[in-house]
A and B are shown apart, each in its own frame.
Chain A
Amino acid sequence: MHLLEPRPRPSRLMRWTAPLIAIVATLLAGSLLFWSLDKSPLASFQVFFIEPLTSRYGWSELLVKACPLILIAQGLAIGFKARIYNIGAEGQLIAGALAGGGVAIYMEGSDSAWVLPAMVLAGAIGGALWGALPAWLRTHFNAQETLTTLMLSYIAGFMLSYMVSGPWRDPEGMNFPQSIMFSDNALFPLLFEGLRVNSSVFMTAFAVLAFWLFNARSFMHFQLEVGGHAPAASRYAGFSSKQTVWFSLVMSGMTAGLAGVGEVAGPVGQLNLNISPGYGFAAIIVAYLGRLHALGIVLAGFLMALIYLGGEAAQVSLQMPFAITGIFQGMLLFFLLGSDVFIDNRLRRSA
């Protein structure tokens, strides 16, 4: 049973190679899965991971999916460093989408250039508020944020369902639970003719830069890391753990809210029940796979986006359900956690 022994000091090499090992292990396990379904693993990987990247359209779709994932993961990484486990980014995304989408619906018919900026602002506030709620519950009532953020995700889902089948339902939408399609000034402008990638990529790019600077330069970031690694030292130094909780949850709520606006004012173009294919959960994996580092998260975000694209491609050309994306995501997180063990430990040499 005792497979491991501690290393004299943590391995820097393993810290950065663990994600690669996890990816290779996921591909191997994926081959087994395809093979057990009587599909050639090589041909399946060709469909899953290569073909999506052989066209301009594919690269545009990759960006469309990577942007929300990267944006959310940047915010989550802040909390994860301080061991604040916000696993309800999906709900904060929905809250942001509702707030931003609400602005678009109430300003329908206006030709103001301020509609989109107002939506972005509303989305950031909506997401931040949905993150502030578990922060309040944690700091005032000691309620664990893991469970409260997750419960709030379900509640946000019901709010969305209520709004699009009630007050905000499109009167000409044949009773489908969806809002009106947003007009052009409520949408991020497209970057290229015929492709879905839009100017919300600059929002994500700005966030990456901001979080990179924050991580490298700010005292707040230092407090977060100390709080996560050595809570006792952090208290002794007089750093406020309440402040850390508030900051982590509000920031991660805000980035998720912005991602929500990016979806409804982007590829989705309205409020409906399918505004996110689980980006809020996948972003947790992205944050860890990217080593909670602003630039690492960018790479991990692209990989996760490729898994989403591959899932869609497999649906079309291999007649596999899209759920295979979830299987790959779960395996990736498992293998990453397993590889991470070898940062501080190694296999026992002698029995």
Chain B
Amino acid sequence: MLDILIPILAGALAAATPLIFAGLGELVAERTGVINLGVEGMMLVGAVASFAAAAESGYGAAAGLPAGALAGAATAMIFAFFALSLAANQAACGLALTIFGVGLSAFIGQHYVSYSLPGLKPIAIPFLSDIPLVGPVLFQQDAVVYLALLTFAAVAWTLSKTRLGLLLKAVGESPEAAHAIGYPVIAIRYGAVAFGGALAGVAGAYLSTVYTPLWVQNMSAGRGWIAVALVVFATWKPARLLLGAYLFGAVTILQFHAQGLGIMVPIQFLAALPYIATIVVLVVISRDRRVLQNNLPASLGKPFLPWPS
């Protein structure tokens, strides 16, 4: 039993990693009141940019991850200009960004369809990785899996314990009040959207340079949208997002081990499971309107322009 459980749990951690990055980025943007539905597009642009950087430089994921972050943040700026500076409809701008990102990444990626990269070797943490079950699951992962956990800790700490976190949340709860006491609401939202884009880019970079080190058109396969749904499921709290991401990682990885577990259902059914699970968790969390309303950033999705009165 252990020899099948370990790869499933270890695989779940890796499969959850892009969702953690993309979800945390979206969570921060949404806490400042901006809903960016372009995560899927930013992820794909990040994936192709990091693949290109990794392949051209020869440094692999070490060059790929920063390149993905930069590309994701740059793509997010297009969204920010239209949705924040021009105060256009956020949901529609996000959709435009996804359509644009899918196209742009496929366009750039045509050069790289037959390349493959070496990927990243898992790092076994001394002593800890020798613990039975826990060791191979938690302490023999690639570096990016650990980086995701660090990012989670940094975001959770910043949001709950720092002045910056307070400011971000204040802008999301009441942009008018934040503006009135002299904070640059639009600039802060720009920053949060750029951060969201960078993390979405890193999520994409993980997919194309580490998780499956090759470029395939549309390789994020809806993970960006699942990340958006996870933020709702998490009721905008980082810890719940982490939990949700691991849950989805497990559901995703199950399809590769179904045969070993003796589950005989068509592969397409197993592949559809994460998307079905997304609908289920949305239903479960949305059922009680109060849960959502008590946690929802009050200005989410509402454009803000400081009109001269």
Contacts and interface: CB of A to CB of B under 8 A. Distances in A.
Interface in A190-219: none
A4 B87 contact: yes
Contacts of B269: 158, 162
B268 A162 contact: yes
A146 B184 CA distance: 31
Contacts of B222: 150-151, 154
B5 interface: no
Contacts of A141: 283, 286-287
B103 A151 contact: no
Interface size class of A (residues with CB under 8 A): 35 or more
A348 B277 CA distance: 48
Contacts of B225: 147, 150-151
Contact of B289 (A142, A154, A288, A320): A142
A143 B279 contact: yes
B78 interface: yes
Interface stretch (B93-101, B160-168, B243-251): B93-101
A341 B99 contact: no
A327 B87 contact: no
A337 interface: yes
Contacts, number: 149
A146 B78 CA distance: 22
Interface residues of B, number: 55
A10 to B, nearest CB: 15
Interface stretch (A223-231, A238-246, A328-336): A328-336
A156 to B, nearest CB: 9
Given A144-B286, A155-B272, A334-B96, A329 B103 contact: yes
Given A142-B289, A329-B103, A3 B86 contact: yes
A151 B95 contact: no
A338 B37 CA distance: 17
Interface in A259-303: 281, 284-285, 288
Main secondary structure of the interface of A (DSSP, over half): helix
Nearest to A333: B96
Contact of A327 (B100, B266, B305): B100
Interface string B88-113: 11011101111111111111001000
Interface of B: 37, 41, 78, 82, 85-89, 91-93, 95-107, 110, 184, 186-187, 217, 221-222, 225, 228-229, 232, 266, 268-269, 271-272, 275-276, 278-279, 282-283, 286-287, 289, 292, 305-308
20 contacts: A4-B87, A5-B307, A151-B275, A155-B272, A155-B276, A158-B268, A158-B271, A165-B268, A281-B99, A324-B103, A324-B107, A326-B99, A330-B101, A330-B102, A333-B96, A333-B99, A334-B82, A337-B88, A338-B82, A345-B305
